[in-house]
Chain A
């Protein structure tokens, strides 16, 4: 086992967590609203939204 394998396992686990939390479980249909910088964004796909939120936060804090 090398570090790459360990890193890959860790990445897989995080992806597994996100996939479950964002896409599975009891689904309450209707609007899920995630807000960034006081702008309400209607939920379309939380996975996409999450990456947008992170990108926007980076942009806000000047970390590119």
Chain B
């Protein structure tokens, strides 16, 4: 049997609490949970048949559900799904070897939760808005190249110029929305990450790590942002365990 690792948690001063919480929870397919401790940290694991983590979407969601439940009781670092080690001894050695890094990460996420904010747009509407602006600028370009009789050349340059202007305007718009989000969230003392335009409809993908107590304030701020940008759709998800703010790769 191998060991599937769910999370690395900060050890508790009350081991009885840990045991009682784990007794009330089950791993994937009802597996019994075990704890592998190393000083002030511990891994929550369960036994799996050697080389056989069989799963589907529901198994993965079950895994996420357990990590979520654990995060309500303990400060933890979620472990990527499917991480298996040979034995509890191997896990203990891994914890020992990476102790400082794990402790540093646990300290960073203690008392905090992760939120995801996705901002969606109607790309056609947005493009039409910037297209009008681009075309207006092309007229100026047309005037400057009046002497040119080569209309194919002119059409090509104008087309490329419009595309460039639209892209430029879109990026500048996205930057202005990000700036506004950042300013709104300044009081939250959040650690944040932004991804610009991951897809044509999803113009911003933001992540926040905030104190649990700041949750209501963040929700209010996002509602406020939604009112200010009626053409955009703000979707806030969370609270999540701190998946995106863990920075450890263990070999």
Chain B interface: which size bin? Answer: 35 or more
Contact A34 B118 (CB under 8 A): no
Contact A25 B56 (CB under 8 A): no
Contact A18 B78 (CB under 8 A): no
Min C-beta distance of B39 to chain A, whole Å: 17
Q: Mark B79-112, 1 if CB is under 8 A from A, else 0.
A: 1111111000000001000000010000000000
Contact A32 B83 (CB under 8 A): yes
**At the interface, yes or no: B64 with Cβ under 8 Å from chain A?**
yes
Contact A27 B248 (CB under 8 A): yes
Count chain A residues whose beta carbon lies closer than 8 angstroms to a beta carbon of B: 30
Q: Mark B51-95, 1 if CB is under 8 A from A, else 0.
A: 111111100110110010000000001111111110000000010
Contact B78 A20 (CB under 8 A): yes
A28 touches which one: B52, B64, B85, B118 (CB < 8 A)?
B85
Contact B55 A21 (CB under 8 A): no
B52 touches which one: A35, A43, A46 (CB < 8 A)?
A35
A-B contact pairs, 5 of them (CB 8 A): A20-B64, A25-B77, A25-B246, A26-B77, A29-B249
